[in-house]
Amino acid sequence: MLEWMLPIGQKTASMDLTSMTTSTGSSTTTPSSFPQTWDLASLAPVPSTTEFRVELDQFKLRLRKLADATNELPPVNSRPENVARWVQLVTEYEFVDAKSADFRALIDCYAAADAENKAFRQLQAELAATTPDREQIAASVEYAFRDASDNDFQAFVAAAPVLKKNQYFLTTRRKNAALRLPKSQELLAADLAVDGLHGWGRLFDRVSSALKVQVQEKGKFVLRSPGQVQFDSPQRTVRENNFLALDSAWGTIADTCADAINHIAGTRLTTYKHVGLKDHLEAPLRANRMTRETLDTMWSTISTNKHVLNEYLTKKAMLIGVDRLAWYDQWAPLPQLPGVENSDDISYDQACQSIVEAFQTFSPDLGEFARMSLTQRWVEAENRSGKQQGGFCTGFPTAQQSRIFMTYTNSADSMSTLAHELGHAYHSWVLRNEPVFLQDYPMNLAETASTFAEAVLGEQRLQRAKSDYERLQMLDGMLGDAVAFLMNIHARFLFEDEFHRQRRSGELSAAQLNQLMEKAQREAYLGALSDDGWNPQFWVSKLHFYITSVPFYNFPYTFGYLLSLGVYAIGKESGGDFPEKYRQLLLATGSQDAEDAVQSTMGFDLRKPDFWLKSLSIVADRVKQFVELADRAIKKTKAL
């Protein structure tokens, strides 16, 4: 759930890469009431046709023409001749923005379903080559807005309906312009970043992907890439040895990575200084349309309430038979109880049925939407070879439809992925009649609907579990997520925050970065792991710290996780008006800042602890259930 990445300025797919499954099975021939392949042909001409080529070429021309037109923009004020030209420009901008999303979504879908097909890769590259045109339009518009006075800008927005309905978008662009350097400097900085800032990111990619780890498998030493080394073995010695092998491999590139991370942060701090930003969190906060106050309240409420997770970690240690957990024990499976069999075989039809039913209980609108998408072939789920890994949901703004890509493998995980992606699709569905610029939302709000959908399904599965032990395992998975969001990601935040503070007075060595990381982990995990169980070199291994296009990549996930849990808690308490409130919240994500969206729909102020306490009460409740079930299981094992 953690590793998705939204391409910058691209209104496209929500990628969910941890639900990666390798498709190996052959296609199933059982007749199904829920089709397992999607329909793309009704959305647009098939890419191999002349019709498609003509449409694509026409679109590229229109985009180029608009980009050229933004070289000389009219002044931003309420003079009728200027307003008339702006109305034309904004209308055209809306059109190419929607079309651009349509084309990217279409090609991504074809490419995902036929991963080996080179023609689709070429089309993806052709579309990627239109990015400079789209960036030029965005930048020129922002500079034009920045140069206008407050009064002129207000009068301008009020002067025409198309401007008025896009007010939030236009105002946000104007605010974003304040984060830009003067135009000539910005252009120079972007050019230099190719070999500077982004060069450091590429260096990390190169050294980390070339890394090989020697691990023992079935008595033999083999070389693996870091991503292949797992910590989910039931045997602790295997987990420990894997961790140690991996850790020493990361150690060999620590000095190089220290250079990279120092220069990435250094470049950012220098840019902020020239722009006039004092706080290194201002840019990431603005990208997520939220305030510092909200972020601080979120973390402090987490800090004072997450001790319940220690009870979970302690109990988990008992269940897997260790005194205290080490870093590498976090993903250890619970031991199998004798006599309890693991039945994790859910057919696609059963999964679809369960999802529709679970959604119905919370919101009939969501349930009906899921039924519609699943029956009208919005989903590509077939388990066959030749498909891309992972899952995503992508929107077609012009057709007002979405498509979901995944490989369904008859497992509970797969079923959750399907629910998750349907949540994303519902989010787009709710926003479908909004102006296209108001259908976009930032990272922290992107996972609200999807995580909410997963939580709704999870709750139903808990209730319907066939045994206490199955329930215990489900809760273990849910609380593992809670540890990831509230402890692991908190540690990343504390580390990055302190690192940026210290980096202002100079570079930090690999040893200093190790110290910072261990300190952050001890604080974020409330000291819950064993004394030698920390992971000081985590900063070397985590790609997120080296993503040069997005600073502070991690906290939006914790925000999104708690937002969806809070909404879920409110839904459990409220009566029949919840579905409408929920719909309104999703609608607001496209046209309001995070605080306003929640305040105006759910009635909570994110700058105060109340909302976050609601979210955390769901976690506390799950811990309570886990502890009770674990105690019973431990008693049972002793009695055997």
Least distance to Zn ion, CB of residue 15, Å: 7
**Tokens describing residue 177:** 């312009």
- The one among 16, 97, 382, 470 contacting Zn ion by CB under 5 A: 16
DSSP 401: E
C-alpha gyration radius of the chain? 25
Q: Which part of the chain contacts Zn ion (CB under 5 A), choosing from 11-19, 35-43, 323-331, 560-568?
A: 11-19
Site string for Zn ion, 445-474 (x = CB under 5 A): -----x------------------------
Q: Which part of the chain contacts Zn ion (CB under 5 A), choosing from 143-151, 444-452, 494-502, 578-586?
A: 444-452
Amino acid at 43: L
18 vs 343, which CB is nearer to Zn ion? 18
The 3-state secondary structure of 151-172 reads HHHHHHHHCCHHHHHCHHHHHH
Question: Phi-psi bin for 377: left (phi > 0), alpha (psi -120 to 50), beta?
Answer: left
142 vs 454, which CB is nearer to Zn ion? 454
**Tokens describing residue 607:** 């700058």
Residue 438 phi/psi, 5-degree rounding, is -100, 15
Q: Which part of the chain contacts Zn ion (CB under 5 A), choosing from 9-17, 122-130, 457-465, 613-621?
A: 9-17
Instruction: Return the closest-CA partner of residue 600 out of 613, 612, 586.
Output: 586
Distant-in-sequence, close-in-space partners of 72: CB < 8 Å, separation ≥ 6: none
465 vs 547, which CB is nearer to Zn ion? 547
Q: Which of residues 496-515 bind Zn ion (CB under 5 A)?
A: none
611 within 8 A of 602, measured Cβ to Cβ: yes
Q: Which of residues 120-149 bind Zn ion (CB under 5 A)?
A: none
Least distance to Zn ion, CB of residue 582, Å: 17
Least distance to Zn ion, CB of residue 540, Å: 27
Site string for Zn ion, 547-576 (x = CB under 5 A): ------------------------------
Least distance to Zn ion, CB of residue 380, Å: 16
Least distance to Zn ion, CB of residue 423, Å: 8
36 vs 450, which CB is nearer to Zn ion? 450
- What does each C-alpha distance from 322 to 19, 329, 529, 556 come to in angstroms? 29, 9, 11, 33
Q: Which part of the chain contacts Zn ion (CB under 5 A), choosing from 10-18, 121-129, 283-291, 368-376?
A: 10-18
452 vs 545, which CB is nearer to Zn ion? 452
Q: How far apart are CA 551 and CA 272, in angstroms?
A: 12
Instruction: Establish if 592 lies at the interface with Zn ion (CB under 5 A).
Output: no
Length of the chain measured in residues: 640
The sign one gets for the Cα dihedral 75, 81, 87, 93 is negative
Amino acid at 632: R
Least distance to Zn ion, CB of residue 283, Å: 23
Instruction: Return the closest-CA partner of residue 27 out of 343, 405, 387, 421.
Output: 387
Instruction: Establish if 14 lies at the interface with Zn ion (CB under 5 A).
Output: yes
Least distance to Zn ion, CB of residue 420, Å: 6
Number of H helices and number of E strands within the chain? 27, 6
Instruction: Establish if 288 lies at the interface with Zn ion (CB under 5 A).
Output: no
Instruction: Return the closest-CA partner of residue 380 out of 368, 398, 392.
Output: 392
Least distance to Zn ion, CB of residue 19, Å: 9
Contacting positions for Zn ion (CB under 5 A): 14, 16, 450
